[in-house]
Amino acid sequence: MEQVTIIEAIHNAANRMSAAGITNARLDAEVLLAHIIKKDRVRLITHRDEVLDDKEQRDFAEAIQRRTRREPLQYIIGNQEFWGLEFIVTPDVLIPRPETEFIIEAALKIVQDRNRPVRIIDLCTGSGCIAVSLAKELAAARVIATDASEKALDVARENSRRHGVSERIRFLPGDLFVPLEELDLRGQVDILASNPPYVQAGDLAALQPEVRDYEPRMALIAGPEGTEIAIKIIRTAPEYLNQNGALIMEMGMGQSGALTRAVEATNAYAKPKIVKDLAGIERVIMARRK
């Protein structure tokens, strides 16, 4: 094959991805090449004139082809950072987003003594990013994480092993609270956290191709209104929360009004709090049990 240096490969790949409509094409090219040659991005800069071998060129070309088809970068390299931890991601799980970290922040504000025993439930766990992150932060926490997808739970289990918390997280297959029905957990839970599906079915076509065409629909679509699953969680959570236990849940843009009304209609919670993300979008709803 023709000799190609690191800087030439990055330049050519960035141009190709830009033409395919990918933003941050240069960054994506660097991340993909660093993944291929198993070096960090600093080495790409300091060894910019180093020549790629034939296998590296072929593997990089394949990765760029996948990215130009709008496959998410995270699925190509197989991981995503969340809460300072590296999580394995596959097309069986939703890619962890930075805004979901607001759930972790809200939970840690509630559990100020990080060494006291707490019981946590994580519904729709996906990659396990919420369950694993909270288990890492709270040394005495016991977590139960549920998901309707067995394949997603396989990924979550692997992430719990990777970060050394597998002995404190129990993963159960099934829809929402169904796996919990046979367990003696009613009135025993300190925190019930969830990043449930919250996209309206009619909005699917308008999503970015990376999301629409690759991420699991069952982790995205909630129903015609987008709030169906969140409202189910709001209505059932009080059965499991202990006195002053908290429901902490991510939500879609524009859904805070409907979810606040659902919280108030149960008459089981104190007045809910809304947490905005860095863009000022209402992102997380938090309600304490009365």
Residue 121, domain CATH: 3.40.50.150
In a domain, 259, yes or no: yes
The closest alpha carbon to 114, from 133, 100, 98, 101, belongs to 133
- What pTM, to 2 d.p., does this model score? 0.94
Domain that holds residue 94: 79-288
Residues 247/65, Cβ–Cβ less than 8 Å: no
Residue 280 belongs to a domain: yes
At residue 64, the pLDDT reads: 98
117 and 59 housed in the same domain: no
Domain boundary among the residues 69, 101, 119 is at 69
φ, ψ (nearest 5 deg) of residue 189: -100, 130
> Is 182 contained in some domain?
yes
> Do both 84 and 191 map to the same domain?
yes
Residue 129 lies inside a defined structural domain of this protein = yes
Q: Examine the domain organization and report whether 33 and 124 are in the same domain.
A: no
Asked if residue 115 and residue 38 are part of one domain, the reply reads no
Using CB atoms within 10 A of its CB, is residue 148 exposed (0-12), middle (13-18) or buried (19+)? middle
Query: Does residue 74 lie within any of the structural domains?
Result: no
Burial 12-38 (b: 16+ CB within 10 A, else e): ebbebbbeeebeebeebbbbbbbbbbe
Place of tokens 């504000």: 109
CA dihedral angle for residue 171, residue 177, residue 179, residue 180, rounded to 10 degrees: 90
Q: Does any domain span residue 52?
A: yes
**3-state SS string over the chain?**
CCCCEHHHHHHHHHHHHHHCCCCCHHHHHHHHHHHHHCCCHHHHHHCCCCECCHHHHHHHHHHHHHHHCCCCHHHHHCEEEECCEEEECCCCCCCCCHHHHHHHHHHHHHCCCCCCCEEEEEECCCCCHHHHHHHHHCCCEEEEEEECCHHHHHHHHHHHHHCCCHHHEEEEECCCCHHHCCCCCCCCEEEEEECCCCEEHHHHHHCCHHHHCCCCHHHCEEECCCCHHHHHHHHHHHHCEEEEEEEEEECCCCCHHHHHHHHHHHCCECCCEEEECCCCCEEEEEEEEC
* 34 plus 138 within the same structural domain: no
- Are residue 93 and residue 58 in the same domain, yes or no? no
Is 64 part of any domain? yes
Residues 22 and 90 in one domain: no
Q: Which two tokens stand for residue 227?
A: 């709030």
Q: In terms of domains, do 175 and 272 share one?
A: yes
**Do residues 255 and 170 both lie within one domain?**
yes
- 81 and 98 Cβ atoms separated by less than 8 Å: no
Q: What is the pLDDT of residue 227?
A: 98
- My answer on whether 49 and 161 are in the same domain is no
Considering 23, 41, 69, which residue would you say is the last residue of a domain? 69
What are the average pLDDT values for consecutive 10-residue runs of the chain, which has 290 residues? 91 96 96 94 87 95 98 98 98 97 96 89 98 97 97 98 98 97 93 98 95 97 97 98 96 96 97 94 96
Judge whether 1 lies within some domain: no
Same domain, residue pair 58 and 162: no
How distant, in Å, are the alpha carbons of 14, 185, 255 from that of 189? Answer: 49, 7, 25
Contact call for residues 180 and 191 (beta carbons, < 8 A): no
> Total structural domains in the chain?
2
Q: In CATH, what number is assigned to the domain containing residue 27?
A: 1.10.8
Query: Are residues 57 and 132 both part of a single domain?
Result: no
Asked if residues 250 and 198 have their Cβ atoms less than 8 Å apart, the reply is yes
